[in-house]
Amino acid sequence: MKKHLLLTLIIFLQMNFIRGQEEEKPKQYRAVGLFDHKTGLGIIGIARTLYQKDKSEIFVGLGLIPAGTLSLGWKRLMNDGPIKGYSVFSIQKISAMGGEFIAPYFSFGGEKKLTDNLFFNLGISSVVRVYPDKKPDIVPFPALNISWVR
């Protein structure tokens, strides 16, 4: 599973290098708050957009404190308006006190633009914890943070 995640990350990075000059520059994303729709179970989140077109983007991210997360995902904006709804699907490697595992991650919510680069995000996220010997656990939690993009 780790090899597949690494291979997928390498493919997305190659896409970024190939298309790099014809698209706008990748955006750097930072978030502080109660978890994050891109980076998961961290109070501090850092992500980079690898590819963006219309209302979709592909990103990689790192979440810190209390859990460490690495994520590779897809974000889709659902509408145009003062509050933009979004959905996120990603694969995350999560390292916490309970161990280390790779899990699917879903998030739904809305973001309100406060300034040109500052956003308020509110939503609900869920990690799907898959076990080899029992049913998967779906663990929902809130996402509430301030994010800024450069």
The reply to whether 136 falls in a domain is yes
The reply to whether 119 falls in a domain is yes
The reply to whether 54 falls in a domain is no
Count the domains in the chain.
1
Predicted structure pTM score: 0.80
Q: Identify which of 27, 79, 63, 19 has the alpha carbon closest to the alpha carbon of residue 48.
A: 27
Domain range for 84 is 31-48+67-92+99-150
φ/ψ of residue 123, rounded to 5: -170, -170
Give 47-97 pLDDT, tens digit per residue: 999 999 989 999 999 999 989 999 999 999 999 899 999 999 999 999 988
